[in-house]
A = this chain, B = another copy of it.
Amino acid sequence: MSETHILQSWTANAAAWTKAVRNREIPSRVRATDAAIVAAVDDLKPRTVLDLGCGEGWLAHALAERGYDVLGVDAIPALIEQAKTKGKAAFEVAGYEQITESGLGGRRFDAVVINFALFGEDSVPKLLRRMPDLLKPGGRLVIQTLHPVVANGDQIYADGWRKGSWAGFSDAFTDPAPWYFRTLGTWVTMIGASGLAIDEMREPVDPQTGKPASVIFIAKAR
């Protein structure tokens, strides 16, 4: 039910989300996390990049501008439609369930990047177990997500579904979906259980708060 709710919510909010991202209305992204994910991919010097859960496509476009051959995929047709309105990256509609079941037609990439796009409970470990099949030899998976210890707030630090919120966003946003919270320890174990070895863990600091704005895992197939 929650996994379905996530897809419904992104469909309902596709237009508002596209506007918020393109108008640079999300402060933590502008101050820290956008530059951090671009730098993380840059440092790998990939030729081909898959942007999984690409949304309205800003990251795919930014990476294509830097000369990489980029494919963006997302489960939400309305977001892929927005992504295709500009830029040099290629886009396709593909949901995590489909990728989990059958990959992407045998295509493999030097880097797979997933930027703030892993919200589910069961869907996420299933998707990650597919990553070795999407990576070329020596390829890397790059995941950016909320920093669990910072995002946890005053709740008990433990895995579980959390209520969604559009606090800080415009009135155009509706029906926030729940998301599945994982501790850092759970992320590390889940990535290891996917046949990947963590090379690096970055914690981009938000210069305004002095705290990590996110965590970025960089992992390779074992």
Chain A contact residues, CB within 8 Å of chain B: 147, 149-150, 152, 154-158, 183-185, 188-189, 192, 197-203, 205, 210-212, 215
Contacts and interface: CB of A to CB of B under 8 A. Distances in A.
Interface centre among A147, A189, A201, A211, by most chain B C-beta atoms within 10 angstroms, is A201
Which label, helix, strand, loop or mixed, suits the secondary structure of the A interface?
mixed
Contacts of A158: 205
A188 B149 CA distance: 16
A147 B184 CA distance: 11
A210 B149 contact: no
Contacts of A200: 185, 188-189, 192
Contacts of A199: 192
Contacts of A188: 198, 200-201
Given A149-B150, A157-B203, A157-B212, 5 more contacts: A149-B211, A156-B205, A158-B205, A184-B215, A185-B202
B184 A184 contact: yes
Contacts of A152: 211
B157 A205 contact: yes
A107 B88 CA distance: 58
Contacts of A198: 188, 192, 198
26 contacts: A149-B149, A149-B150, A149-B211, A152-B211, A154-B210, A156-B205, A156-B210, A157-B203, A157-B205, A157-B210, A157-B211, A157-B212, A183-B203, A184-B201, A184-B203, A184-B215, A185-B200, A185-B201, A185-B202, A185-B215, A188-B198, A188-B200, A188-B201, A192-B198, A192-B200, A197-B197
A160 to B, nearest CB: 13
Which 5 pairs from chain A and chain B are nearest by CB? A149-B149, A156-B210, A188-B201, A185-B203, A185-B201
Contacts of A150: 149
